[in-house]
Structures are given as structure tokens and as C-alpha cells.
Structure 1
Amino acid sequence: MELKFQHLHKKAIGCMRLASAIGTIIFLLLCSIPKIIFYFLDTELPAWANVAYAAIIAISIGWIIITPIIRYKRYQYYIDDKQLIVIEGLWFITKDLAPIERVHQISIQRGPIDRMYGLSKVIATTAGGNIVIRFLENPIAEEIAESLGVRIGTIVKEQKQRGDQHA
């Protein structure tokens, strides 16, 4: 049986791009420290350092443009009555899988960048860790969290009834 994975809304690319840009700007500021030090020492950087800095800027611009597209195309999730699967990654692709019966808590989080794009993440907590479905539109995140909560409640009720019958 082939699983029908869900893909993200296009808004996710913008969210990924902004998060990538913020991280890249911080990285570029750190890379600028030698230039700043040389400026205040009133000396010039070697020519190779300027070329390296220009290359770092070019690579950073490419990073901001290309990596969100790759992440977006690779990101997919699947939820049914039995399991929750999330596949994501840039260099290393991870596949997180949890049986629904092992999930004991569901939460929704919205960071500042997520809120700018109307996106949320659903976090399913198991004894082994968390499975996070990122970059979901808010109504979809609410719907997923609610349906998982109902399913978990049903499983707990069924387990309790089986336990009462065996007692």
C-alpha cells in the first residue's frame, strides 16, 4: 500500500527563506570581524581576504535562494490512524516515524517568523522524543492537533477498557 504524503503550502518557502536569511546575516556579521579589526587598525586586508569575503557573500546569497527550495521539495508528512511520519532535510534526509498509540502529548507552537507567515508547527511527544511537523498553515495545524488529540483519547479509552476487563 502506497502512503499518500502531504506537502507544504508555498508560504513555507518564504518562512524558510527568511529564517535562512537571518542566520546567514549573523554568519556574515561574524565573518566581517576581521574586516572591522583591520579597518580600526588602519591597515588593509590582503587581497585574497577580500576575494574570500566576496566569495562568502556570493555563496550566502545562493544559500538563501536555493536551500529553502530544496527543503520545501523534500519536506512531506503523513498521518493516519496508526502512524505519524515526517520526512525532511537538506544534506541529510531524516524520516521520523511514531505509532499514534505512542504519542502522549500534542502541542502547537508559533515562533515570530512562523507568525509572520501564518504558519505553525505541531509537536507530537512520545516517550522516545518529539516528532515535529513544521511550516503548517494555522488552520491545518489546528485540525491536525485536534484529530491527533481525538485519536489519542480514543486509544487511551480503549486501553483503559481492556485493562478494566482483565481486572
Structure 2
Amino acid sequence: MESEFKQLNKKAIGCMRLSSGIGTIIFLLFCSIPKVIVYFLDKSLPTWTDFAYVIVISISVVWVIVAPIIRYKRYKYYIDDERLIVVEGLWFITKDLAPIERVHQIAITRGPIDRIYGLSKVIATTAGGNIVIRFLENHIAEEIAENLGIKIGTIVKDQKQRGDEDARS
């Protein structure tokens, strides 16, 4: 079954990297607040804080470069007539699985970073929560959503026919 899983397009790495970069910039801005406050108070921090700040920046840069590659290599999804599976993670790998018959809503979303890279998310909603397939090219997301909608419609129609037959018996 491992070969049946689908990988993402390489554009996903750029999207992940930009998301990580924005988060890292926000994090570094918060880390800079004490330095800015001390500067305006005309005081000085111990020299070890400069060293610590350089280490934090270095780790952040490595994070933005390496984390998206690891996430990309671990991310995969699988859809057949019976189930939807998404495997992803950086530190902890999660495997989300939902039977197709339990899916009752399909949505496609595109955030601002997704739109820059021409990517989308397909969100399959079940009673137990959502399964999200991220970083899909727009046309693939549309195909997946359409195919899932058809599969769900077929399942609902079959269940309704069985219910009607049981009622007649």
C-alpha cells in the first residue's frame, strides 16, 4: 500500500518555507523586544545576550531551510473508494484516516500563502473532525473534491435505495 500514497508537488516546499519564514520572523521580532527596550532606556545587556541572540537567529535560519524539507518528505495522502488517509508531521508523525462513507462535507480553501504558490487545501469533514489534504495544486484539489463528492453521492444514493428496499419488505 505504501506505493499507492501520493506525494506533493515541489511547490509545496516553497509554500512550507514561506510559512515557516513568516512564523520565524514574528518569533525573532518578539525575541528582539528586550533588546529594543534596553536600547531606548540607554542601558546595556550582558554580552552573552548578543551571543544567545546570534544562536537563536542561526537556529531559526536552519529551521526555515530544513523543516519544510522534512515535512515535504513525510507528507503523503491516499484516497480510494473506501477511505481517505493523510500522513504528515515534523516531530510527531500523524496518520489521519476516515472512511469515505463518513465524510459529509468537502471544502477547498486557499490562504494567502497558498494562492502565491497556486496551492489549495481539501477539507473533508466527518462527525469526528476534519481531514485536511494540504499543499495541493489547485487543479488536483478540484479533482479530489469532485471525485470525493461523486463517491459520497453514490454512497448516499446506495444507502437510500437500501433503506427504501428495507421499508418495502
| Structure 1 and Structure 2 fold alike (TM over 0.5) | yes
Q: How does 1:143-162 map to 2 (within 5 A)?
A: 143-162=143-162
Secondary structure, counterpart of 1:9 in structure 2? coil
**Paired letter, 2:137:** E
Deviation at 1:45, TM superposition (A): 1.2
Q: For residue 114 of structure 2, what is the aligned residue in structure 1? A: 114
Aligned equivalents of 1:21 and 1:44: distance in 2?
29
| Contact kept in structure 2, 1:3 and 1:78, CA below 8 Å | no
Instruction: Give the superposition deviation at 1:3.
Output: 5.5
Secondary structure of the residue aligned to 1:148 is: helix
Asked if structure 2 preserves the Cα contact closer than 8 Å seen for 1:104 and 1:125, the reply is yes
Amino acid at match of 2:114: D
Superimposed CA distance per residue, residues 95-121 of structure 1 (whole angstroms, 9 cap, x where no aligned partner): 000000000000000000000000000
CA distance in structure 1 between the aligned counterparts of 2:84 and 2:52, rounded to whole angstroms: 45
Letter in structure 2 aligned against 1:43: K
Residue matched to 1:7: 7
Equivalent residue, structure 1, for 2:165: 165
Quote the Cα distance in structure 1 between the aligned partners of 2:52 and 2:159. 62
Once residues 42 and 152 of structure 1 are traced to their aligned partners in structure 2, the CA distance between those partners, rounded to angstroms, is 66
Tell me by how many angstroms 1:144 deviates: 0.2
Q: Is it true that 1:57 corresponds to 2:57 in the alignment?
A: yes
TM-score by length of 1: 0.98
Residue correspondences, number: 167
Equivalent residue number for residue 95 of structure 1: 95
Counterparts of residues 31-70 of structure 1 (less than 5 Å)? 31-70=31-70
- CA apart distance, 1:43: 1.1
The CA distance in 2 between the partners of 1:97 and 1:79, in whole Å, is 10
Paired position in structure 2 for 1:72? 72
**What's the CA shift for 1:2?**
5.3
Deviations 1:108-158 (A, max 9, x none): 000000000000000000000000000000000000000000000000000
What percent identity do the matched residue pairs reach?
A: 77
Verify: 1:86 aligned to 2:94, yes or no. Answer: no
Quote the Cα distance in structure 2 between the aligned partners of 1:105 and 1:129. 11
Instruction: Give the distance between the partners of 1:138 and 1:72, measured in 2 at CA.
Output: 18
CA distance in 1, matches of 2:46, 2:66: 31
Task: Return the TM-score normalized by structure 2.
Answer: 0.97
Quick check: 1:88–1:94 contact (8 Å CA) kept in 2? yes
RMSD (Å) for aligned C-alpha atoms: 0.8
**1:124 aligns to what?**
124
Secondary structure in 2 matching 1:30: helix
